[in-house]
Structure 1
Amino acid sequence: MDERLLTAFLTVAETRNVSVAARQLNITQPALSRQLQKLQRHLKVELLQSHHSGVGLTAAGEEFLPVAQSVVDEIRKAEAFARMLSIGRFSEITFAAPGTTLIDVVIPFVATLDSSELHSHVIETPLGTSLEQAVNTADLVIMPSAPPKEFASIALVELPVWAYVAPNHPWVDRDEILLEELVEERVVVTTTDFMSRRVFDGAVDVAGLTVPQIVETNSGRVAQALVATGNGVAVVTEDAYFGLKPAKIMSGHKILSVWLYAGWRADHYAYDDVQALAERLARFAQARYPRLTPGPIDPTVRL
């Protein structure tokens, strides 16, 4: 089966718009339409249907979607394996992680790698994506939850959920904040798409507390920006920005935190190479965040 035709179908299924899909594939809309028609003729089934807001999948298209994705993923893995056999070494890897982890951990790590020896790709994967889904498109998946036992994995680093305050906040000199105190403040958090929010909400629920003043944002950096003037506390795992001061959040005798794990397929064709890279990533992450300390402070801001 032609990979180009399957990729065309997958891109239209994702965008639900032929014009947008054509731009992503760098081909003309008529060329994309011909590819879709060719695929449907070959399969002898209608996969797509037009409607007023774009293109949707038929019932058959919905069922065929995961099969098409699996075939494309396997073709790409076979090509990568063939390249490794051709040059005699593992030379290309794809990392996947949620956005915050990509920015704070994965991309800084990739910057330390020798690109002449190992070509790296990074892709963002939503927090709710399962490892089973993520390993279909990535060699090494970094996620804030322990992978299922059928996958190879290692623990990378424990990251605190920080309470960030501005330099003029009364808590600026404190290293720890009790959860009971925190909920009395104006708390600025991310959405539940972020693990820091889920950990915070879970701790509040377990403690039987409520948060009268809570502001929700779409990113940890925006949350920090909103409290940079001294109004409120940002509850995030991101590295510090805007000269904010971090403090650990204590719930009982425990620090609120998130563990990062690296997971990969147990049958990966370059298992040993991927494992070695995961172990290297663990050493990097632990050096970057030693003993539950915050990540690099914004060097452009004088504390």
Structure 2
Amino acid sequence: MELRHLRYFVAIAEAGTVSAAATRLHVTQPSLSRQLRQLERSLGVDLFDLVGRRLLLSPAGRTLLPLARDVLERAGALRAAAVFYAQGRLDRLTIGAPTVTLTDVVAPFIAGLETDDPMVDVLGADGLSPAETLRLGADLAISTVVAGDPFRSQALAVLPVWAYVPPSHRWAGRSGVTVAELLDEPLIVLPRSSTARQAFDTAVAALPSPASLVEAANGTVAQALAAAGRGIAVVTDDPRFDLAPLAIDLHERRLSIRLVAVWDSRHAAAATIEQFAVRLGDFVRARYNAPPV
């Protein structure tokens, strides 16, 4: 039994299917299936039961899952502590975040780092909780939700969810649009795992269904479709294709998401990671002219 086997076990349990876990882990589905069978043979138990097209934890799997998570967390802490104490500093830092956040927030932040800062790597974390993101190897997770002990959180910024229209649209000269007005238009939204979609769905939950709703794979594609005249893109991404951003007005506020940075307080370099999170927050607020949080 190796740590990667436990990591695969946890990923499959959280994703619900081997194919979804393989996508998250960037491995092939046949390879992941083989690794799972190796772990089950090593442990002498079946970890999952196949129900329909989904894998559900077996009784043994339900018992062993929290133990596997604990082993992975302790192994990650051991590895991070060893590197930190061997080098006397944090040499490498991995930031986990949804794809749009990596593109529009983390990448520009990395571009401005100094040569004596840690080398920064990234981890895609679409649809993952902060705890799941950290468990997969991130030192710092960016999310819209905080996490309880032993994790610590640092508010980064409140960012708007935009309604993007092409320059030829009748609303292009406006600064904002009400959510009720949007519902009468063809809309292009993101998958339900995205923070922009979740914020939008919450805002319209008690309102009539949109006249037309198309789901795009990501914010760039959503804006491309809007530029082609297929509808209004509802995303948090930076503007592309010369689209005009409109704030989405609710009754007493504007539709937005709240970004937070989360890290494990037990990390050997927790103090350094916290300083990094503060710097990231300062950068995000300056970049987007966002108010203090």
Matching residue's letter, 2:42: L
Instruction: State the Cα deviation string for residues 47-68 of structure 1 (Å, max 9, x = none).
Output: 46899x9x99754345324422
Q: Could you tell me which residue of structure 2 aligns to residue 155 of structure 1?
A: 155
- 2: CA distance, partners of 1:115 / 1:48: 46
Change in Cα spacing, 1:11 to 1:215, as seen in structure 2 (3 Å) is closer
- 1: CA distance, partners of 2:11 / 2:230: 44
Q: Could you tell me which residue of structure 2 aligns to residue 60 of structure 1?
A: 60
Q: Could you tell me which residue of structure 2 aligns to residue 120 of structure 1?
A: 120
Instruction: State the Cα deviation string for residues 111-131 of structure 1 (Å, max 9, x = none).
Output: 33346641222112233x333
SS in 2 for 1:135: helix
Greater CA drift, 258-267 or 1-10: 1-10
Q: Using the TM superposition, give the Cα deviation of residue 16 of structure 1 relative to its aligned residue in structure 2, in angstroms.
A: 4.2
- 2: CA distance, partners of 1:162 / 1:4: 40
Task: Work out whether residues 284 and 290 of structure 2, in 8 Å CA contact, stay in contact via their aligned partners in 1.
Answer: no
Structure 2 counterparts to residues 150-299 of structure 1, below 5 A = 151-206=151-206, 208-291=207-290
Change in Cα spacing, 1:226 to 1:264, as seen in structure 2 (3 Å) is same
Q: Could you tell me which residue of structure 1 aligns to residue 76 of structure 2?
A: 76
Matching residue's letter, 1:84: F
What is the root-mean-square deviation of aligned Cα atoms in Å? Answer: 3.5
Task: Work out whether residues 8 and 36 of structure 1, in 8 Å CA contact, stay in contact via their aligned partners in 2.
Answer: no
- 1: CA distance, partners of 2:64 / 2:158: 40
Q: Could you tell me which residue of structure 2 aligns to residue 39 of structure 1?
A: 42
SS in 2 for 1:152: strand
Aligned length: 280
Q: Using the TM superposition, give the Cα deviation of residue 285 of structure 1 relative to its aligned residue in structure 2, in angstroms.
A: 0.8
Task: Work out whether residues 80 and 267 of structure 2, in 8 Å CA contact, stay in contact via their aligned partners in 1.
Answer: no
- 2: CA distance, partners of 1:198 / 1:12: 24
SS in 2 for 1:249: strand
Instruction: State the Cα deviation string for residues 255-294 of structure 1 (Å, max 9, x = none).
Output: 11111011112333212101100001011111221148xx
- Percent identity over the alignment is 35
Task: Work out whether residues 8 and 35 of structure 1, in 8 Å CA contact, stay in contact via their aligned partners in 2.
Answer: no
Q: Using the TM superposition, give the Cα deviation of residue 250 of structure 1 relative to its aligned residue in structure 2, in angstroms.
A: 0.7
- 2: CA distance, partners of 1:267 / 1:170: 54
Instruction: State the Cα deviation string for residues 73-125 of structure 1 (Å, max 9, x = none).
Output: 32132122111111111222221112221221123223333466412221122
Task: Work out whether residues 72 and 135 of structure 2, in 8 Å CA contact, stay in contact via their aligned partners in 1.
Answer: no
- 2: CA distance, partners of 1:159 / 1:201: 17
Scaled by the length of structure 1, the TM-score of the pair is 0.77
Q: Using the TM superposition, give the Cα deviation of residue 134 of structure 1 relative to its aligned residue in structure 2, in angstroms.
A: 2.9
Change in Cα spacing, 1:237 to 1:269, as seen in structure 2 (3 Å) is same
Task: Point out the structure with max Rg over C-alpha.
Answer: 1
Matching residue's letter, 2:241: F
- 2: CA distance, partners of 1:153 / 1:49: 34
Q: Could you tell me which residue of structure 1 aligns to residue 111 of structure 2?
A: 111
Change in Cα spacing, 1:81 to 1:57, as seen in structure 2 (3 Å) is same
Change in Cα spacing, 1:218 to 1:3, as seen in structure 2 (3 Å) is closer
- 2: CA distance, partners of 1:155 / 1:199: 18
Query: Is residue 134 from structure 1 mapped to residue 158 from structure 2 by the alignment?
Result: no
Instruction: State the Cα deviation string for residues 22-59 of structure 1 (Å, max 9, x = none).
Output: x949xx99x9699648733xxxx2346899x9x99754
Task: Work out whether residues 12 and 18 of structure 2, in 8 Å CA contact, stay in contact via their aligned partners in 1.
Answer: yes
Query: Is residue 97 from structure 1 mapped to residue 100 from structure 2 by the alignment?
Result: no
- 1: CA distance, partners of 2:40 / 2:230: 57
Q: Which runs of 5+ in 2 are unaligned?
A: none
Task: Work out whether residues 96 and 122 of structure 1, in 8 Å CA contact, stay in contact via their aligned partners in 2.
Answer: yes
SS in 2 for 1:254: coil
